[in-house]
Chain A
Amino acid sequence: MSVRHALLALVSEGPKYGLQLRQEFEERTGEVWPLNVGQVYQTLQRLERDGLVESDDEVADGPQKLFRITPDGQAELGSWLRTPPDLSSPPRDDLVIKVLIAIRLPGIDVRDVIQTHRRYLVELMQQWTRVKADAAPDDVSLALVVDAELYRLDSVIRWLDAADGRLRRTGLVPIGEPTGEPATAPTIEPAKPTPGPVAARRRAGVRR
């Protein structure tokens, strides 16, 4: 997450004060990324040092100082928006490695390892979905942030499902007769009341 470029984008809309930038940053990011005032002013100083924003020299540093974007800042912003982020594969994916190791390890049922991770991911998705369900209909920023998390987690679950299916087809795990008790013996009773959206929002670090 680039605070530097997010602030540059906000300043590109017109001259703004530091506190105003902080408030608008949080609103635009669905209030998921809280930002302290120190970070705002520190980032603005660096942007000014690099010639990307400018302020009135006669006004001392502080809330009265108004920042505006420079032509170099506009160019930098345009370039940043169109530069793809680094989405190349990480050097190692812990979840993939765990499944790879579990396949060959004696005494370990890889299906139970996969299921443990699947459940954890679904629980995270439930949390995010509650945040979305509770969000105001016009809170587009929050909905976009939550969707991004949901699609990211969903893609990992899809990989787990695909791995599960592939292992069955290749005979590395048995099909049909369960080999024994699942790793986590389930108790199938009605769940306790699920935490309300407010609690989920708080746990998710999302502030109103």
Chain B
Amino acid sequence: MNSTLELRDVTKVYGSGATEVHALRSIDLTVAPGELVAVMGPSGSGKSTLLTIAGSLEEPSSGEVIVGGEALSTLSRNERARLRRRVIGYVFQDFNLLAGLTASENVSLPLELDGTSPKAARVAGTAALDALGLADRADSYPDELSGGERQRVAIARAVVGERRLLLADEPSGALDSANGEAVMRIIRTTCQRGVAGVVVTHDAQLASWADRVVFLRDGRVVDQTVPPPGPESLLEPDPVS
């Protein structure tokens, strides 16, 4: 199957014995290139664990994670690190920008760490900032940017280069509604260019930007939205009086 991300029967257990916690139970999830999937669920449902495992920041207790056709369990530590630098981009609720670097340096850093020359990395970083309307903020430091601008820099950093998988954890949780909508528009547009996206959130307004919404409960996928969405009756024009 042509998918960018695939989780097969993924389970994650923390602790053991009496303190054992099943964070994820037999998760199967496939995300195609260009598809934006939102994962919704209450606190403790396993959303963030799912994201960290999908992004190779954590290993599952059992099951398989396949990113860009490569099973993570077959990769060495170094190969997984390279995959994280080249293929996977993260966006966090609190932006996670490095305070001592400019916007442009923050965005180009992953490329430089991956061996790209500083000049080429800077060009790619500027292009990514430009695509998000931040060309004139390239030399600003994070504390000189608004919350919305910081998150756009974080998205630019997550998609710079040839990233194919964008993972976002409550990406607009710290923003007001206008900036939150702007962030989701950017993520949606990014996915429409062929990037596979996963956004975890408890916010239905954010989730509604996704092509598909998957619902987690107690570490298990219990449901997902089905297109075409919803009966039409409630959306028919009201009879006017």
The residues of A with any CB-CB pair to B shorter than 8 Å are 1-4, 32-35, 39, 111-112, 115, 118-129, 133, 150-151, 153-154, 157-158, 161, 164-165, 175-178, 182, 184, 186, 188-195, 199, 203-205
Contacts and interface: CB of A to CB of B under 8 A. Distances in A.
Please classify the interface of chain A as helix (H, G, I), strand (E, B), loop, or mixed, using the class held by over half of its residues: helix
8 contacts: A3-B240, A122-B207, A133-B188, A190-B30, A190-B212, A193-B227, A194-B212, A205-B236
A34 B237 contact: yes
A205 B32 CA distance: 30
- Chain B CB within 10 Å — which of A33, A153, A186, A193 has the most? A186
Contact of B226 (A123, A178, A205): A123
A188 B224 contact: yes
B166 to A, nearest CB: 16
Nearest to B196: A190
Contacts of B62: none
Interface of B: 3, 22, 25, 28-32, 35, 40, 42, 185, 188, 202, 204-205, 207-215, 217-218, 220-230, 232, 234-238, 240-241
Given A178-B218, A194-B211, A204-B235, A124 B204 contact: no
B204 A119 contact: no
Nearest 4 A/B pairs, CB to CB: A123-B229, A125-B208, A123-B230, A129-B208
Contact of B237 (A119, A123, A124, A205): A205
A128 B230 CA distance: 11
B231 to A, nearest CB: 8
Given A188-B28, A194-B227, A129 B209 contact: yes
Contact of B205 (A111, A150, A182): A150
A26 to B, nearest CB: 11
A115 B223 contact: yes
Nearest to B189: A133
A195 B229 CA distance: 9
A128 B42 contact: no
Given A39-B240, A111-B217, A122-B40, A157 B204 contact: yes
B76 to A, nearest CB: 29
A122 B220 CA distance: 19
Nearest to A176: B218
Given A115-B217, A128-B235, A190-B212, 8 more contacts: A3-B241, A35-B240, A119-B225, A120-B230, A127-B235, A176-B218, A184-B223, A199-B228
Contacts of B205: 125, 129, 150-151, 154
Contacts of B238: 1, 33
B222 A126 contact: no
Contacts of A195: 227-228
A33 B240 contact: yes
Nearest to B7: A188
Contacts of B3: 190
B223 A182 contact: yes
A186 B209 contact: no
B215 A133 contact: no
Given A119-B225, A123-B225, A150 B202 contact: no
A135 to B, nearest CB: 12
A150 B184 CA distance: 15
